[in-house]
Structures are given as C-alpha cells and as structure tokens.
Amino acid sequence: MHDQQLLRYSRQIMLPAVDIAGQQALLDARVLIIGMGGLGSPAALYCAAAGVGTLAISDFDEVDLSNLQRQIVHRQASIGQLKVDSAKVTLNGLNPECQIITLPEKLTGAALLEQVRLADVVLDCSDRFSTRFAINQACVTAKTPLVSGAAIQFGGQLSVFDSREANSPCYRCLYDDSDDEALRCAENGVIAPLVGVIGTMQALEAIKLISGAGKAAVGRLLVFDALNTQWRSMTLSQDPACPVCGFENTGF
C-alpha cells in the first residue's frame, strides 16, 4: 500500500477490526454487482470509495430520465448511455484506482457462473425474481457469498447467503418460483432514499465479508419498514427440500 492509499483509507485502517490487513483484502478483492439501478448505485459507490480493488458491474439497460430520482451513480448528462458506462465514469471520478469491469449484457448461464466464480462476493441488486434465482444458483454452485437486497415502495429487505458454511440457507430456500410475479420498482414506485439504505447495507455486508470485520448477516432476513422506521431481523433455516441447496436433492 502506498502513501496515498494509506491516507485515502486511513479512517478504515484505524479501525482495529479492519487494520492494514483488512484494507489490503479489500484492495485485493473483486466484487460483482448485478444491476446498476437504485440498489447498485450506492452499493457500487461505497465499494469503490472504501477501496474494493476490482468492481465488475453488470447491466444491459440504458439510463432513463425516470431513473435519476434514485439511481444516484448516474447523471443527467448520461441519459441514453449504457448504465455500466455511466456508472464507470462516476465511480472512477470518485476513486481512479478502482478497476471497473463493465458487463453490458444480461448475465446468464455459463457467463454468469464464470463471473460469480471470479468474484469474492456477489451483490444482487437486480429487480426480477428470475434473475435473482439464477444468481443464487450460480452462487451456490461456485460457493461465492451472496448479498441480496430488495426495495419496493416503502419496504426493504437484506440477506446474506454463504454456501461455504454448512447447512447455510440460500435465496431459493426463502422464495419459490410462484413468487415470480412480484413487485418491481418500475411498475410500483419506490421512495428514493430507501434504495440508498438497502444498497448501502449491501456494500457494508460485502466489506465485512472481505475485510473479516464483524459478523455478516448470514442466514438472516432483515426487513426494513421505512414508513414506521422499524427493522426486523429473522433467522432463516435451510429448506431440506430446496431444489438448489437442500440435502434431500444433493444425494447426501
């Protein structure tokens, strides 16, 4: 770590739970963020600011005027550009040392699994159940920790799934295919700072997982009620019949 890095990250390095070793782990880490929308914006900004060395960002969409109310990594001048290109400019403006890998396609199948394998942590900042199930499957297969966030209207959710831990639940233990017609921001509205709260929590959990600080919310579901300013925390259990991670389906 050079002098400029010691200065840039000094407020983290002085934390005993992070120290030089934790900061170096962040600099050496690669985080995959899927979705450069409302959740992906603050998640990517904080990961870049905090010194995550490599950020792979995936989104096939372009910046639209209606995105700017909450997708704070994008700028008015970026309307019409690919979201990953728009985000890269903002993120490198914040921290030029953060290597940004842009993936301007819908990641599926082998390409998704390859990116998940390359990552130390995956942040699911997407807004469709079909995408969320595919990301979860890839994370279980690759044994890459997954930080999952969701926000709609005035409600948010956060969970961390870590398949490296025995009997740890996965996203599919929590939801099944019948939930596919669920709410999306595009059709149902969302209050702007809510995606900031949840996306920022995703960055925080990722930074904890990588630096080793504290204990990430593995196997827990945190539910935020923004209208009443209340957090609830629930413990999740692995579903033995889960088609992705359940032992009834893996032959053990």
* Closer residue to Zn ion (CB): 188 or 237: 237
* Closer residue to Zn ion (CB): 206 or 242: 242
Look up tokens 């990641």; give the residue: 107
Q: Strands of 171-251 (E only): list them.
A: 220-225, 230-235
Write down the least CB distance from residue 133 to Zn ion, Å.
11
Q: Which two tokens stand for residue 57?
A: 């960002």
Residue 227 per-residue DSSP state: T
Q: Which two tokens stand for residue 118?
A: 């390359």
Write down the least CB distance from residue 242 to Zn ion, Å.
3
Write down the least CB distance from residue 173 to Zn ion, Å.
4
CA distances from 103 to 55, 89, 214 (A): 10, 14, 31
Q: Is 173 in the site for Zn ion (CB under 5 A)?
A: yes
Candidates 98-106, 143-151, 167-175, 193-201: pick the segment binding Zn ion (CB under 5 A): 167-175
* Closer residue to Zn ion (CB): 67 or 136: 136
Characterize 82-118 residue by residue with b for buried, 16 or more Cβ atoms within 10 angstroms of its Cβ, and e for exposed: bbbbbbbbbbeeebeebebebbeeebeeeebbebbee
* Closer residue to Zn ion (CB): 9 or 161: 161
Write down the least CB distance from residue 142 to Zn ion, Å.
15
Q: Which two tokens stand for residue 165?
A: 């831990």
CB atoms < 10 A from the CB of 223, how many?
15
Candidates 28-36, 156-164, 195-203, 238-246: pick the segment binding Zn ion (CB under 5 A): 238-246
Write down the least CB distance from residue 196 to Zn ion, Å.
29
Q: Strands of the chain (E only): list them.
A: 30-34, 54-58, 99-103, 121-124, 146-152, 155-161, 220-225, 230-235
Q: Is 132 in the site for Zn ion (CB under 5 A)?
A: no
Report how many residues bind Zn ion under the rule CB under 5 A. 6
Candidates 2-10, 90-98, 168-176, 186-194: pick the segment binding Zn ion (CB under 5 A): 168-176
Q: Is 242 in the site for Zn ion (CB under 5 A)?
A: yes
Report the residue closest to Zn ion, judged by CB. Answer: 242
Catalytic residues: 185
| 107, 160, 170, 217: residue in contact with Zn ion (rule CB under 5 A) | 170
Name the CA dihedral angle for 69, 73, 78, 80, rounded to a multiple of 10 degrees.
Answer: -70
* Closer residue to Zn ion (CB): 169 or 199: 169
Q: Is 245 in the site for Zn ion (CB under 5 A)?
A: yes
CA distances from 230 to 88, 98, 155, 157, 222 (A): 34, 35, 10, 12, 10
| 8, 74, 132, 172: residue in contact with Zn ion (rule CB under 5 A) | 172
**Which residues lie near Zn ion (CB under 5 A)?**
170, 172-173, 242, 244-245
